[in-house]
Amino acid sequence: MKKYFLLAGLSLTALTACESGHIDMNTIIHADGTCRREICFKADSAALANGSIKTASNILDSLNDNGWSYEVQDSLWVKAHRDFSSLDELTDAMPLQVAGQQVKSKAKLEKHFRWFYTDYIFTETFESIAPTFAIPLSNYMDKDMADFWLTGTPDVMKGFSGMEIKDCLDNMEDAFGHFVNANILNDLMDVLAEYYDGIPMAPVSKEEFLASKSELIAQADKMSTDGLNFEPEQLLAETFKTEAYNQALKTDTVISEAWEQRQNVYVSLLMLDVDYQLSMPGGIIVIYKCGDGVFRDGELHYRLNGMRLLAPSYTIKATSSEKNNWTLYLSLAIILLAIGLGIYFLYRGRIRKNPLQKSE
């Protein structure tokens, strides 16, 4: 069971997803508002053998429905795609999940006609999963620091020296570790409280147990944020002078499964590792800092992972520009027509002034 605590206690800087958990997701936006999503991931070999693309990673089983088309590449890698008539359909069919819950987002496309070209502004904002955790990160960090730690923006360390940056990052890492530990302890106590009547030799009543939560969390805040050294079960045992809770977690199947399911939220967050690629009409000319995208291999890429989804909102936004060839041709035709009419009226004017010229 300790392995789950170790995973949950890892900070963002220690987050390294394994190859099997990596996901490539390409979002293609067309000028008429239609769109396409392509996703590439590693699937379970046994599932593939049974004609399913079920995977242990953060992919929804909904990819098995008739709306998605897919092919298996290199034995285990699956490439799936689906075309959509609108952005609402695109976001409703988001193929990503965290702890069994679909990742939710809202997208919009703005068009600005500029005669010779049209600007397209695409925005996709992902719903925060922070409400999943009872104790908010704001208890340990101010908003700007938390946003920087989770997403890289805003640049709260602009003008800092290298030494100052290190100190600041160390403090943020420590604060984030306390946030994780506090929520792990809170979750453990909630699970135990839910099945409290089934715990033999419980030292206190359920009400007294829950009433001690704030005091225990305050105590945990003074402990190490190293996942190897934080053991909430041991903290409960030492506080209440009993092994009753540890025994229940080890021997009661219902309690142990409920606790493991809750821990999977943390594991799933850590495992979500998506290279979000964006293609838009024409060429992309503006990348907004809120999305922090970068050009690589001729495409626009964003990082989408569980830590970014802990922020109040994570937004991907970019502007592209496409030439309007028809307006160019129309403008050229209008110019030629104007020149032709000008020559025609000039010629007619000269004829009227000198009618003898016409007879000659």
Q: What is the pLDDT, as a whole number, of residue 348?
A: 76
Q: What is the pLDDT of residues 151-177, one digit of tens each?
A: 888 889 989 999 999 999 999 999 999
Tell me: the pLDDT tens digits for 227-271?
Answer: 556 789 999 999 999 999 999 999 999 999 999 989 888 888 888
Which residues, at least 6 apart from 356, have a Cβ–Cβ distance to it below 8 Å?
Answer: none
pTM of the model: 0.80
Is-contact 39 59, C-beta < 8 A?
yes
Give the mean pLDDT of 319-325.
83
Q: Is the pLDDT of residue 333 over 90?
A: no
The larger pLDDT score, comparing residue 115 to residue 62, is at 115
Q: What is the pLDDT of residue 114?
A: 85
- Residue 128 confidence (pLDDT) above 80: yes
HSE value, Cβ hemisphere, 13 Å, CA-based, for 165: 9
Residue 154: cis peptide before it, omega within 30 degrees of 0: yes
Q: Is the pLDDT of residue 357 over 80?
A: no
Mean pLDDT across 92-110: 91
Percentage of the chain exceeding pLDDT 70: 83
Mean residue pLDDT across the chain: 84
Do residues 34 and 85 touch, judged by C-beta distance below 8 A? yes
- Taking each continuous run of H as one helix and of E as one strand, the counts in the chain are 12, 13
Does residue 15 have a pLDDT over 70? no
Q: What is the dihedral of CA 299, 305, 310, 313, to 10 degrees?
A: 20
Instruction: Quick: pLDDT tens for 79-95.
Output: 889 999 999 999 999 99
Confidence label for 14 from pLDDT (cuts 50, 70 and 90)? very low
Question: Can you spell out the DSSP letters for 160-214?
Answer: --HHHHHHHHHHHHHHHHHHHHHHHHHHHHHHHHHTGGG-TT-SS-HHHHHHTHH
Question: What was the pLDDT predicted at 72?
Answer: 83
